[in-house]
Amino acid sequence: MAEVDKACCSLPAVTTHDYKPNGTYTKLAGLDVYQTGPPNSTRALIAVYDVFGSTPQTLQGADLLSHSLDALVLVPDFFKGKPLPLSLYPPDTDEKKKIAGEFMQGTANIDASLKTLGKMVVEAKGAYGDVKGWGCYGLCWGGKLAVLNSGAGTEFKAAGTAHPGRLVKEDAEKLTIPFICLFSKEDGTPELMQEYGQALEKNDENVVEKYGSMHHGWMGARANLGDKENLKEFERGYTQLAGFFSKHL
């Protein structure tokens, strides 16, 4: 497992309540895109949120990475202002399961979203000509888009995920760029998480770590930053992402 570069990767203080994002909005590939950091930076990240959309926790994570890396970070709104409501989690009734299933097949369809992400990358490269190194990270659902965009022919130099969703070992085996994976304690069966991690660890440039006390979603919409342990691991996770991308972009 590759060591991350900790130089120049300290985060500013995390705001635990009522976070006000630092960025602005632009338009790319027909999507509203949250933009944070210098548009003339030489490195940039595309952040793909989880199914609950552009929450304050997710946007704060983008701001933290932008500040730490002095990088441009773009957060596209794939769901066009209509994410899956947090109230549907956990999907513990037939009605909740039905709504979530329809959302995943429609609004959050992976194949359609991959095409949209591809269009956005092309437009972003044209709009931000100073960027020399593009990267991507995704949370849960977004992690699936990140890993599927990190194989042969990718536009990215490095990519990663935190609390990944829809794990398939073959996705990890097809990677062609450095990749970081931060597991929670519950991103799939223990056997599947182990297989996925072992596939990643075959490349020394990849980073795999399990945050064993954390729930699925601790770095995204389900982050409870009022909880001391979640806050600590939220900070550690984004510091680890920053170190990885500092090294590879």
* C-beta neighbour count of 140 within 10 angstroms: 25
pLDDT value, residue 171 = 98
DSSP state of 2: P
Q: Are 165 and 145 in contact (CB under 8 A)?
A: no
Residues in the chain: 249
Q: Is 179 helix (H, G, I), strand (E, B) or coil?
A: strand
Q: Using CA atoms, how far apart are residues 139 and 248, in angstroms rounded to an integer?
A: 19
Q: Using CA atoms, how far apart are residues 27 and 124, in angstroms rounded to an integer?
A: 10
pLDDT value, residue 222 = 97
Amino acid (1-letter code) at residue 186: E
Digits of tens for pLDDT over the chain (249 positions)?
Answer: 444 444 345 678 899 999 999 999 999 999 999 999 999 999 999 999 999 999 999 999 999 999 999 999 999 999 999 999 999 998 899 999 999 999 999 999 999 999 999 999 999 999 999 999 999 999 999 999 999 999 999 999 999 999 999 999 999 999 999 999 999 999 999 999 999 999 999 999 999 999 999 999 999 999 999 999 999 999 999 999 999 999 999
Whether the model clears a pTM of 0.85, i.e. scores above it, the answer is yes
> Could you tell me the domains of the chain?
24-248 (3.40.50.1820)
pLDDT value, residue 12 = 83
Which helix (H) or strand (E) segment is 168 a member of?
none
pLDDT value, residue 159 = 99
pLDDT value, residue 11 = 79
Estimate to the nearest angstrom the gap between the alpha carbon of 147 and the chain centroid.
10
pLDDT value, residue 9 = 54
Rg, C-alpha atoms of the chain: 17
Q: Are 58 and 139 in contact (CB under 8 A)?
A: yes
